[in-house]
Homo-oligomer: A and B are copies of this chain.
Amino acid sequence: MKSQQKKQFIAALKSKVSTKVDVVELANQLLSGNTIALSKAITLVESNKREDSLLAAELMRIILPHSGKSKRIGISGVPGAGKSTFIEALGMSLIKSNLKVAVLAVDPSSEVGKGSILGDKTRMEQLSANANAFIRPSAASGTLGGVARKTREAIYCCEAAGYDVVLIETVGVGQSETAVNSMVDFFLLIAISGAGDELQGIKRGIMEMVHAVVINKADGENIHKAKLAKTEVKRALHFYPQFASGWSPETLVCSALENTGIGEVWTLIETYFEKFDGYIHQNRKSQAKWWLKESIEEEVIAQFYLNKAIEKELPIIEKDVVEMKLSVSEALLKLMTLNK
């Protein structure tokens, strides 16, 4: 941006700065690792208000150069697989290695007040009480694209605040995994052993993007079953195409409850980061490009529907199309004329 343009942009922003949020001060606090500031920053990023989005843009401008340094790990799994227990165990083990851990959630289906997958912090008792952990229940609402964009910027906030590992939990419904996959470096699927049908309930599309499957609850009488499940999953993974990076997905067993096998999972993740450092760097660039495209298209469509003339005429045109009085091609010609 040219200097003059920049001045104008900042002046425009400043005129909008509410007395409640001083973005520069907020950014400074966030950069010093203050978790209250981090919380506030994410709230700002997640806000759907126009005024807040200008402030959020300014905040991102300040913190962006300080982001990008974490390992971004996506964690998915069917309900009951023990995702929270796993995150608690992995998180605590990372903290013991002097790492700072942030946990975010992508859950576009959740609505504020209706609770969300990470809403119940008591499921991560130790982690939520630890000063080196930051847990952020999913509060953003809106379209998947919008929620995901905000989650991406929440990741940048966590990174700028000094978190070394960002774990992004997702609900396991398919769509949100695709979104999460395009913002993380490594994607982990938590599964449990069942009646020979370990992958039931896991959408095929998800299997294609996981870097590793961890069979959880390998404890007590379940150990043998978990090992069998591992063999089954390994065989299933064999049928999926190899990653562009050359990585072949791995299968591990663990018990988050008894804290066994967690170290092995982390070792595997570290191996990936060491081995594919250059690939990860490139992949993040592709992800950024993809997100820009997705966001642009979502926004362009949203603005089209907000156009007053369109808002007025669309129901009439739609009715005519449904009743076969108007072809889609002609409807398009009309709508595009209205949109000019």
Contacts and interface: CB of A to CB of B under 8 A. Distances in A.
DSSP class of A's interface residues: helix, strand, loop or mixed?
helix
B292 A318 contact: yes
A332 B301 CA distance: 13
Contact-size category for A: 35 or more
A195 interface: no
A152 interface: yes
Interface in A310-340: 317-318, 321-333, 335-336, 339
A296 interface: yes
Nearest to A287: B322
Interface of A: 45, 53-54, 56-57, 60-61, 64-65, 67-68, 149, 152-153, 156, 204, 285, 288-289, 291-292, 295-297, 299-301, 303-304, 317-318, 321-333, 335-336, 339
Contacts of A156: 327
6 contacts: A56-B329, A60-B327, A60-B330, A68-B324, A152-B328, A301-B301
A249 B53 CA distance: 49
Contact of A53 (B61, B318, B333): B333
Contacts of A325: 64-65
Given A61-B330, A285-B322, A296-B304, 13 more contacts: A56-B329, A57-B333, A60-B330, A61-B327, A64-B327, A152-B328, A156-B327, A289-B318, A289-B321, A291-B328, A297-B297, A299-B335, A299-B336
B149 A328 contact: yes
Nearest to A289: B322
A57 B336 contact: no
A170 to B, nearest CB: 19
A322 to B, nearest CB: 5
Contacts of A297: 297, 301, 304
Nearest to A50: B333
A295 to B, nearest CB: 5
